Amino acid sequence: MQVSTKVLETMGDKTEEDRIKPLQILLLRMVVTSIALVVYMYYNRRTIPYVPFGNPAVRGWLILRGIFGFIGVFGMYYSLMYLTISDAVLISFMAPSFTIISAWLVLHESISPIECMGSALSLSGVILIVRPTFIFGAANDSGNSDSTFNHDPAGRCIAIVFALFGAMSLSGVYIVIRFIGDRAHAIMNVNYFSFVTGVVSFFGILVIPGFKFQKIDNFKGLNLFLLIGICGFIHQLLLSMGIQRVTKASKGSLMSYTQLIYAIFWDVIIWGKWPNVFSIIGMILIIGSTITVIKMKEKLSERQSEYIELQETD
């Protein structure tokens, strides 16, 4: 999905102004996803309650899930205009750290100094990926001067900010879905995400001058849009089902780390872009600290459960 988006946003020799923008990709993706959703919901309407709008008791929360989802996916898609896929995916891996903090604030799950330290290390990893010029000096990417990778420092910095806001919003998605629980079918989370994202993207294209609708004049572009829509539907459905079934909000995002393997693979195969030393160190900090924190939190929870069981047997 990210690969198709990157190709669409950097395809051909068009100027940056005339290239396909994230809102157009999101709008067309949601059209395909919505068609798949309608077919899926009505085909399975006997097992999916309250088709097509979901349980009235949680519709407000479903709308909020859609808003968080839009910010999250827009942050990712915007960052792909300036970053490699692996760097954009790495920054999205801040979501588990934000989820731990959000779960502590909203769901009142416990938080420890180790988790705070892990979040700080993850942020350090993001700084290594961003490589701000006031710390690292001017960037040197002479080996990758093609138009596929935008080397404008200001644009790259803005892309990083959008990516971080996207990661924060993804943590909001995890928290809201966990809060809704089984009061709404998993497909309803995808339905509201698609609807809200589609509506916001449509009006964004109309209102924002720099995001005007671009004509798709080749078969390759149409195929990429179709692929994004199908993959987006499958991804959101499985993500919602997975989050609803985990026992901890922070575990819901852990499996997403496998994305990095594919991201690096496609960066190398399609664009010949290997991650540099700073990105590799940032990768180790973000993934290593987050996995360590989650595993230590699981062990602590197990010990607490064992202690409670021992107290009850005495």
Mind listing the pLDDT tens digit for each residue in 53-103?
999 999 999 999 999 999 999 999 999 888 888 888 878 877 777 887 887
Confidence (pLDDT) at 199: 95
Q: Of 110-124, 218-232, 238-252, which range is least confident?
A: 238-252
Per-residue model confidence as pLDDT tens digits over 242-289:
666 655 555 555 566 667 777 888 888 888 888 888 888 888 888 888
* DSSP-assigned letter for residue 21: P
| CA torsion, ordered 257, 259, 265, 270, to nearest 10 deg | -150
* % of the chain residues with pLDDT over 90: 21
What average pLDDT score do residues 122-134 get? 73
What's residue 130's pLDDT? 67
pLDDT at 165: 92
pLDDT at 223: 86
Q: How far apart are CA 5 and CA 11, in angstroms?
A: 10
User: Residue 291: is its pLDDT beyond 90?
Assistant: no
Alpha carbon distance 43, 229 (integer Å): 19
Q: What pLDDT score does 200 carry?
A: 96
Residue 110 has pLDDT above 50, yes or no: yes
Would residue 272 be called left, alpha or beta, if left means φ above 0 and alpha means ψ between -120 and 50 degrees? left
Q: Cα(18)–Cα(34) distance, rounded to whole angstroms?
A: 27
The vertex-4 CA angle with 73 and 231, nearest 5°, equals 65
Average pLDDT over residues 122-137: 70
Residue 155 tokens read as 């644009």
Q: Which of 3-12, 29-38, 294-303 has the lowest mean pLDDT?
A: 294-303
Identify the weakest region by mean pLDDT among 134-148, 167-181, 262-276.
134-148
pLDDT of residue 147: 46
- pLDDT at position 144: 47
| Residue 17 banded pLDDT, cuts 50, 70, 90 | low
75 residue type, one letter: G
Residue with tokens 């994004």: 228
Sequential DSSP letters for 147-192:
TTS---HHHHHHHHHHHHHHHHHHHHHHHHHHHHGGGS-HHHHHHH
Asked if residue 192 has pLDDT above 90, the reply is yes
- Beta carbons of 162 and 74 less than 8 angstroms apart: yes
- Residue 212 binned pLDDT confidence (cut-offs 50, 70, 90): confident
CA distance 298 to 314: 25
Average pLDDT over residues 30-53: 89
Q: How far apart are CA 62 and CA 196, in angstroms?
A: 10
Q: Sign of torsion, CA 114 164 250 58? A: positive
Which pLDDT score, from 0 to 100, does residue 128 have? 82
